[in-house]
Chain A
Amino acid sequence: MKRIIVCLKQAVDVSQLKVDPKTNQLLTASAPKKISDFDKNALEEAIRIKEKLGEAEIYTVTVSSEDAKAVLREALAIGADKAYFVNDPSFQDVDTSATAYILTEAIKKIGEFDLILCGEASLDSFSGLVGSRLAELLNLPLIASVRKLTVEDNTVVGERTLEDAYETVKAKTPALITVTREINQPRIPSLMMIMKASKKEIVTWTATDLNIQKEKVEGKIDVIEVLAPKTERKKIMITGENKEEIAEKLAKALIQEGVVGR
């Protein structure tokens, strides 16, 4: 295992996302960004493989139309050796087919690798398509939704949980793996690791550097609208002198609402 590439998305921190109450639009532009959770698991897994095998380079690749340097620095602090940043204003609102295409061009330019790790899905768009699309474009074996990964000389073995079964799947490297959150507990970088990371390299490429064809980033889907769902809940707080009184009031309400099953 010489080189592991981790596809790392800078995602909107969905837990800090606000909604405009008048229009129900999401205020994504002002929301904080972070490394997509599953991608942190992917990076952690790469580091564990490196630690186990002794020697391996870990490269991260990020595609974004916005600034993502802080996120890339964090990845370097956590343990990536080098970060590739594919940054171009024309990448705004790209869909999964375009993202996978751009990632493919970047990975081709990086050159050789043994393993590509992606998240099962990204925190914000949660589409879960880019990893599989990338595997197809690079003509690689794919093991999706892996919750345990074992790496041997030139094979990878992934355990996956399907709807009705556990499955163990084997592939030869180079291969592409998408990971679930169960696979590991990502580490938090120490101050020393953060300081060390400032010496590591971030390579920035534009669309021109990668010879990106314009028509291929135009996308295959149209987003018509993205709106917060309207939830109209009663929000009645039940209070009382003691637990018995509260319980009685709640029981009465449930029976009156007609939601008690019997």
Chain B
Amino acid sequence: MSENKGVWVFSENYDLTLEMLGKGRKIADMLRTELVAVLVGSNVQEKANDLIKHGADKVYLVDNPALERFQSEAYLSVLHNLTANYKPDILLIGSTKNGKPLAARLATRLETGCIPDCSRLSVDEKGRLIGERITYGGNAVAKVTFRSKPQIATIPGRAFAKLEPQDRNGEVTKLDVKIEEPKTEVVETKPLETSSVNIEEAKVIVSCGRGLEKKEDKALLEDLAKILGGQLGNSRPLAEDRKWFTEWVGLSGHKVKPKLYVACGISGVIQHVAGIRDSKMIVAINNDPEAPIFEVADYGVVGDLYEILPALTEALNKQLQ
């Protein structure tokens, strides 16, 4: 086991790679080992220097036209080849819809463990990686560590911060890797219209649930969000069932950490609450006094959101004059 060394990061998502380098740098320093970024793609060489600026000591570059777009078997074979040859101690993989299956399959090939969606990472006295993740539908946080190497953890977006870019020295090694025959074919991709502002970074979020009757009524929330300097959020059913939005807050959606989260017409089911736990302050407006959201709120109002929201907007307007 002791032959494994180095902290590696990989994600097909560049921002996430930089975020993982930020945390990876700290772990590598603690373990007094090197931080390696794995850069995979076609004509991506010019990014190598930027990865070093963001904390990497080394970049393993695999540049091949066949790797222009993410393809599971192709990317898997690259990572498998590199990790089997160079034996990292720790490998952080971005927990995207493509990255997570990749991590799971790589862990299976390497006969090692994988801890998914770690929102916190630390190292114990034996130098083992400890990952913290939400489980049981948001009811608990599990602390998990490894019995095998490499230690593979997947990391969600915005769990860790990028480092400020610095002029540093690093080594770029270009590698040629045999690419495996794909088993699946991407026949079409269409861009997804996502909100241009990242909800994870919002300072204030005004969020609606099924208590909102019509999509147009979100104007009530927008008015409040405007005066609070915030943006809108929503529970999953408004995206999944009603298709009013494409994204949502919660366990299976965005984990947010605003100063203020205003939950309007949201019952506060555990899977939703799992996404808002890190909010500094939670305000709940719900017409059901028994709604579980009141158990996790700092301020609660039992009332109809159609009455309370306009009144609140007006009151804030007056008081902020």
Which positions in A face B, CB cutoff 8 Å? 12, 14-15, 17, 19, 26, 28, 95-97, 100, 121, 123-129, 131-133, 135-137, 140-145, 157, 160-172, 178, 181-182, 219-229, 231, 233-239, 243-244, 246-248, 250-255, 257, 259-262
Contacts and interface: CB of A to CB of B under 8 A. Distances in A.
B165 interface: no
Query: Chain A at the B interface: mostly helix, strand, loop or mixed?
Result: mixed
Given A14-B136, A255-B320, A261-B229, 10 more contacts: A142-B101, A143-B184, A223-B143, A224-B143, A237-B300, A244-B311, A244-B315, A254-B228, A262-B228, A262-B320
Contacts of B97: 144-145, 160-163
**Residue among B112, B185, B251 facing the most chain A CB atoms (10 A cut-off):** B185
B277 A229 contact: yes
B161 interface: no
Given A26-B136, A243-B303, A166 B308 contact: no
Interface in B234-289: 240, 246, 251-252, 259-260, 269-271, 277, 280-283
B141 interface: yes
Interface stretch (B22-30, B212-220, B291-299): B291-299
Contact of B296 (A162, A165, A231): A231
A136 B111 CA distance: 11
A171 B72 CA distance: 12
A247 B312 contact: yes
Interface residues of B, number: 88
A254 B141 contact: no
B112 A220 contact: yes
Contact of B187 (A12, A26, A168, A234): A168
Nearest to A260: B228
B114 A96 contact: yes
B192 A164 contact: yes
A250 B299 contact: yes
Contacts of A95: 113
Nearest to A229: B141
A170 B136 contact: no
A206 B188 CA distance: 44
Contacts, number: 267
Contacts of A124: 135-137
B314 A142 contact: no
Contact of A259 (B141, B280, B315): B280
A166 B194 CA distance: 11
A103 B151 CA distance: 23
Interface string B187-204: 111111010000000011
B100 interface: yes
A132 B188 contact: no
Contact of B137 (A126, A131, A132, A234): A126
B135 A226 contact: yes
A170 B184 contact: yes
B298 A125 contact: no
B46 to A, nearest CB: 22
29 contacts: A14-B136, A15-B270, A26-B136, A97-B107, A121-B252, A126-B134, A127-B116, A131-B104, A132-B105, A136-B109, A162-B98, A163-B13, A165-B192, A220-B112, A224-B144, A225-B142, A231-B277, A233-B296, A237-B299, A237-B302, A246-B303, A250-B299, A250-B301, A250-B312, A251-B312, A251-B315, A253-B299, A255-B320, A257-B298
